[in-house]
Amino acid sequence: MLNWIWLALMLGGVIYAAFAGDVEVVKQTASGEVVELQSRVQAVSTQMLESAKSAIMLVISLTGIMVFVLGLMRIGKDAGMMRWIALRLAPLTRRLFPDVPPDHPAMSAMVMSFTANIFGLANAATPFGLKAMSELSKLNPIRGVASNSMILFICITTSSITLMPPTGTVGVRAAANSADPFAIWIPTLIATLCSTAAAVATFYLLRDRARFAARPLADADLPAAEQEIFDTPEADEVLGGADRGPLGTGRKLFIAVALLALATGLVRAVLNELPSHTAMETFNTVAKAWLFPLLVSAMLLVGVGGRVRLYESAIEGAREGLEVVVRITPYLVAILVAVGMFRASGALDLVIGLLDPLTSRIGIPGEVLPMALLRPLSGTGAFGVMAEILHTHGPDSFVGMLASTLQGSTDTTFYVLTLYAGAAGIRDVRFALIACLAGDLAGLLGATAACHFFFG
């Protein structure tokens, strides 16, 4: 699907430009700004080179924040944060999946997949998710047809609740010179909670409908798809934080003093703002200033409590961050060039002009619609479109805030559904796509509502 979208953006941009006439271009000269007429085709040609250059500059700017934040996340992981979350998720998972025995390998794989997603480690979540689907297929009474447990697992995975800041999005916002790159953290959390709630609610609404009942396939006598054995990392390696025994008095005292100092500083900040601001204005101002420093402090103190060698752990996480940047670079260049060509041709303005009168009535600017449509199809493609939106409209504009929030509202629905269904040999996903798309829609609406609430 992304291949066709990419082709449509590039080829469609060139073809539309061929018939779109001229466009006014502002050029800088020694005597000042001069407005000249330029053919759309020439504008597309120029934008190809500019977009490629901008993509590389974006990657360079993105590297620093990605390396630093993923270094912090590694400290939390090594200190046992992921293991702590996994232990507390297990009872909830058993309630959500009553058809799966508590001691079955599928249960532990699902718990670790959810934990990795909550911690923002999608790369670690994927192998566990594939393993979970493979194990769930062994409990499936109807070969080739998704069971209720499989559908619910896919719904929760595609809606992708993440408690940690969306590192990639924050990095792009910082590279675009945002005054507050972390401003979208809480709105993103709200949006992804909405998407998860909607996907799960749709699952419970449709699971007992006769129309969506699981029925044997016509060719059920065919051999089952071979269950591939996935080489997943060991749980200790992925979750980290092996038990190191009780904390000593010195570490407890250090953590207590640090927490007291942070709490005192936070209270002082609130008291300083309250006399001249409303409670909501005070909350927004203090959150803007304190959110990221508190996250950094929390990770460091968790590391102290987990007896982690903080510096060495951060360096190891930073290496992982650098690998992530290198991996996404080709995708960013390809999609930014394609979107830049489509925009320069004037075709994007045409699409926005047609849809904006409808979407603006519910508070969704037409400028974010290309990303909203692409998000279920390609995570890297949507990431590139988001970067282009921030470059065009500014990271702190409402459009930029909404695009940034939307990026973290869900995972890539069609990719996850195809990948996980293939892992279990599933050909009939029943109502899984409907439930996942309901989550995508709720994520868009939740992101819009949260951005209007926080950013006006």
Query: DSSP string covering 349-400, please?
Result: HHHHHHHHHHHGGGT--GGGHHHHHHTTT-HHHHHHHHHHHHHHH-TTSHHH
Q: What value does the mean pLDDT take over residues 195-200?
A: 93
**DSSP label at 424?**
T
Give pLDDT, residue 201.
95
State phi, psi for 219 to the nearest 5 degrees.
-105, 40
For residues 252 and 295, give the distance between their C-alpha atoms in angstroms, rounded to a whole number. Answer: 19
For residues 450 and 121, give the distance between their C-alpha atoms in angstroms, rounded to a whole number. Answer: 24
The token pair at 183 is 């401003």
Q: Where are the domains of the chain?
A: 2-216+306-455, 248-289
Beta carbons within 10 angstroms of residue 301's beta carbon: 19
Instruction: Return mean pLDDT, the chain.
Output: 80
Could you tell me which residues come within 8 angstroms of residue 22 by beta carbon, excluding any fewer than 6 positions away?
37, 38, 39, 40
Q: Provide the residue type at 410 as one letter.
A: T
Give pLDDT, residue 29.
63
For residues 279 and 347, give the distance between their C-alpha atoms in angstroms, rounded to a whole number. Answer: 45
At 22, is the secondary structure helix, strand, or coil?
Answer: strand
**DSSP label at 407?**
H
The token pair at 153 is 């697992």
Cβ 443 vs Cβ 192: under 8 Å: yes
**Greater confidence, 219 or 274?**
274
**DSSP label at 47?**
H
pLDDT tens digit sequence for 158-187:
887 777 778 778 888 888 888 888 888 889
Percent of the chain at pLDDT exceeding 70: 87
Nearest to 340 by CA among 280, 295, 384: 384
The token pair at 448 is 């819009």
Could you tell me which residues come within 8 angstroms of residue 408 by beta carbon, excluding any fewer than 6 positions away?
162, 166, 169, 184, 188, 191, 192
The strand pairing partners of 27, in sequence order, are: 34
- Strand runs (DSSP E) across 388-452, as ranges? none
How far, in whole angstroms, is CA 370 from its chain's centroid? 16
Cα-only R_g, the chain: 24
pLDDT tens digit sequence for 257-300:
999 999 999 999 989 888 888 887 787 778 777 877 887 888 89
pLDDT at residue 2 greater than cutoff 60 = no
For residues 57 and 177, give the distance between their C-alpha atoms in angstroms, rounded to a whole number. Answer: 13
pTM: 0.69
pLDDT tens digit sequence for 304-341:
888 888 889 889 888 877 876 777 678 778 877 887 88
